[in-house]
C-alpha cells in the first residue's frame, strides 16, 4: 500500500485518541493526519499538533498554533467530518457529542473507525441505515466488536455472537460488597486502563450491556442470538458460532493498540505495537463462566431496552451516565446506579422511530429527570 491513509481523530487527547497516535507514530509512513480534535486538555492537544502537524485542530477552547488552521466546537467537528480529504475518521470522543459528526462523515462518504458507544446506543437504527445507503464502512474499535468483525466472513452463516466480559473488580464479590463499594474500588479494574466513566460501567457490567446493543446494530443480529460470557483473563475478546456448530474466536493480549490499529488500517495488516508476542503456554489457562444476572442487573436492562427499541436505549444510556457521574461525585452509592436507571426506564414513554432531533430532546429530558431523582437519594 503506497498511498497514505488520510485520517482525522475526534478526541485525540482521550485514552483511545492518545493510543491511536501511538499506533500512527509506529506506522508514520502509512498515515497523513488531516485533523486532531480535543476537549479541555488544550496543553496536550497543542503538543500533539506540534508533533504530528495536522492541517486542522479543533477544540472547545481557544487555541492557536502557527501553520495549522484552528476550528472551534461542534461546528468545527462537523467541518472536519465534511472534509472529503479524509479516508477514515476515528470517532473517539466520549458521549453524545460523537453522534452528529459521525452522521456528517457518513453523509460525506467517509469511513468510520468507531470508538464512541453513544452513536449506536442512542441512534443505531438511523446510523446503520445511513451508512448502508452511503456505502460507508463502520469498523468497530471496541475490542469485543473488533473481535467479532475479524471473525465474521459471512454474516448469513452466523448462528450467534458470544461477547466476553472480564467481570470487572466485583466479579467474585457479593452484592453486599458492591452496595458498600467506594469509588476507588469501582475504578480498580483488574485488566484494562480506561477513563473513569467506562471503568465504572465495567464494574456494573453496564458497559457490556451497551456493547450488546452496539453488537445488535453493527452485525444486524437479533438480541436472542447475542450471548455474554465472563472471561476474567480478557484474552478471548469475543467469538462467533456458525450454524454448523463451529466456533471461531479472536484472541490477543489485553491491549487497545491492536483493535485501534485493526480499525484504522482495515483491511490491511502491518507490524504494530506489541509489548510481547502471544504465547499460549504462558497464558496456561482460560476461564469462562455465566454472568450473574442478579448481581449485575444492567445486562437484563440492556436486553430489555434493546428489544423494546426506539428511544428506550437512549433513555438507558442517559440515565445510567448521569447516575455514574453522581456516583463518581460521591452523591450516591454504586448499587444506586441500577435502581435509578431502572426507575427512569420504567417511567419513560418509548418513541418507536425517533428522529435525531427527537433523540437529543429525549436525552436531555432524561438527564434532567435523572438529576432530580438523584437529589432525592
Q: Quick one: the chain helix, strand, coil %, rounded to 5?
A: 50, 15, 35
**Residue 333: domain span:** 309-377
| 164-170: average pLDDT | 95
The closest alpha carbon to 148, from 209, 226, 244, belongs to 226
Rounded to the nearest 5°, which phi and psi values hold at 115? -125, 20
Alpha-carbon distances of 205 from 73, 139, 294, 310, rounded to whole Å: 32, 23, 12, 22
| Residue 348 confidence (pLDDT) | 97
CB contact set of 36 (below 8 Å; sequence gap of 6+): 8, 9, 12, 17, 45, 48, 49, 52, 54, 56, 57, 58
Angle at 18 between CA 15 and CA 24, to 5 degrees: 140
Burial class (CB in 10 A: 0-12, 13-18, 19+), 58: buried
Residues 192 and 272 in one domain: yes
Measured distance CA(368)–CA(356) in Å, rounded:
19
Measured distance CA(111)–CA(134) in Å, rounded:
10
Domain end, chosen from 258, 274, 304, is at 304
Residues 152 and 292 in one domain: yes
Residues 172 and 283 in one domain: yes
User: Which of the four pLDDT bands, split at 50, 70 and 90, describes residue 181?
Assistant: very high
This prediction's pTM: 0.95
Reduce the DSSP state of residue 250 to 3 states and report it: strand
Question: Of the given ranges (220-224, 281-285, 328-332, 363-367), which has the lowest mean pLDDT?
Answer: 281-285
Residues 281 and 359 in one domain: no
Residues 158 and 300 in one domain: yes
Structural domains counted in the chain: 3
34 sits in which H/E element: strand 31-37
On the question of pLDDT at 2 being above 90, the answer is no
Residues 170 and 299 in one domain: yes
Residues 91 and 150 in one domain: no
Q: How does pLDDT run across 96-128, given as a tens digit for each residue?
A: 999 999 999 999 999 999 999 999 999 999 999
Q: Report the Cα–Cα distance between both ends of the chain, in Å, rounded.
A: 58
Residues 157 and 256 in one domain: yes
Residues 109 and 168 in one domain: no
Q: Looking at residue 346, which CATH number applies to its domain?
A: 1.10.1740.10
| Residue 189 confidence (pLDDT) | 83
Give yes or no for a contact between 341 and 290, defined as CB atoms under 8 angstroms apart: no
Domain end, chosen from 123, 140, 157, is at 140
Residues 131 and 9 in one domain: yes
Residues 193 and 248 in one domain: yes
On the question of pLDDT at 194 being above 90, the answer is no
Domain end, chosen from 121, 140, 159, is at 140
Q: How does pLDDT run across 249-262, given as a tens digit for each residue?
A: 999 988 899 999 99
Residues 191 and 262 in one domain: yes
Q: How does pLDDT run across 40-93, given as a tens digit for each residue?
A: 899 999 999 999 999 999 998 888 889 999 999 989 999 999 999 999 999 999
- How many Cα atoms occupy the beta-carbon half-sphere of 243 within 13 Å? 6
Give yes or no for a contact between 124 and 217, defined as CB atoms under 8 angstroms apart: yes
Amino acid at each position: 500500500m503506497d498511498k497514505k491513509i488520510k485520517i482525522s481523530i475526534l478526541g485525540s487527547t482521550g485514552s483511545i485518541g492518545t493510543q491511536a497516535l501511538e499506533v500512527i507514530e509506529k506506522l508514520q509512513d502509512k498515515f497523513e493526519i488531516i485533523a486532531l480534535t480535543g476537549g479541555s486538555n488544550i496543553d496536550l492537544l497543542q503538543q500533539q499538533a506540534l508533533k504530528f502537524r495536522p492541517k486542522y485542530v479543533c477544540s472547545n477552547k481557544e487555541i492557536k498554533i502557527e501553520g495549522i488552521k484552528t476550528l472551534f466546537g461542534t461546528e468545527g467537528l462537523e467541518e472536519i467530518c465534511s472534509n472529503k480529504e479524509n479516508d477514515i475518521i476515528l470517532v473517539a470522543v466520549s458521549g453524545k457529542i460523537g453522534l452528529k459528526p459521525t452522521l456528517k462523515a457518513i453523509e460525506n462518504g467517509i469511513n468510520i473507525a468507531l470508538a464512541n458507544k453513544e452513536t449506536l446506543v442512542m441512534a443505531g437504527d438511523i446510523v446503520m441505515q445511513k451508512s448502508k445507503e452511503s456505502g460507508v464502512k463502520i469498523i468497530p474499535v471496541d475490542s469485543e466488536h473488533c473481535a467479532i468483525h475479524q471473525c465474521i466472513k459471512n454474516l448469513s452463516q452466523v448462528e450467534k455472537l458470544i461477547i466476553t466480559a472480564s467481570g470487572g473488580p466485583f466479579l467474585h464479590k457479593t452484592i453486599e460488597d458492591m452496595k458498600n463499594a467506594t469509588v476507588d474500588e469501582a475504578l480498580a479494574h483488574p485488566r484494562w486502563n480506561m477513563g473513569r466513566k467506562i471503568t465504572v460501567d465495567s464494574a456494573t457490567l453496564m458497559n457490556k450491556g451497551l456493547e450488546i446493543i452496539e453488537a445488535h446494530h453493527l452485525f444486524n443480529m437479533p438480541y436472542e442470538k447475542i450471548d455474554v460470557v465472563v472471561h476474567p483473563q480478557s484474552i478471548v475478546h469475543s467469538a462467533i458460532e456458525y450454524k454448523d456448530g463451529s466456533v471461531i474466536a479472536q484472541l490477543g493480549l489485553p491491549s487497545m493498540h491492536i483493535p485501534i490499529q485493526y480499525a484504522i488500517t482495515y483491511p490491511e495488516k502491518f507490524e504494530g505495537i506489541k509489548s510481547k508476542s502471544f504465547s499460549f503456554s504462558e497464558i496456561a489457562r482460560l476461564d469462562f463462566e455465566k454472568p450473574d444476572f442478579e448481581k449485575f442487573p444492567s445486562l437484563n436492562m440492556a436486553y430489555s431496552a434493546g428489544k423494546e427499541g426506539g428511544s428506550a436505549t437512549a433513555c438507558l444510556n442517559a440515565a445510567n451516565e448521569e447516575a455514574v457521574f453522581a456516583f463518581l461525585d460521591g452523591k450516591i452509592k454504586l448499587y444506586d446506579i441500577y435502581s435509578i436507571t431502572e426507575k427512569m426506564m420504567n417511567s419513560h414513554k418509548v418513541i418507536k422511530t425517533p428522529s435525531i432531533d427527537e433523540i437529543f430532546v429525549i436525552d436531555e429530558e432524561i438527564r434532567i429527570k435523572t438529576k432530580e431523582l438523584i437529589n432525592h437519594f
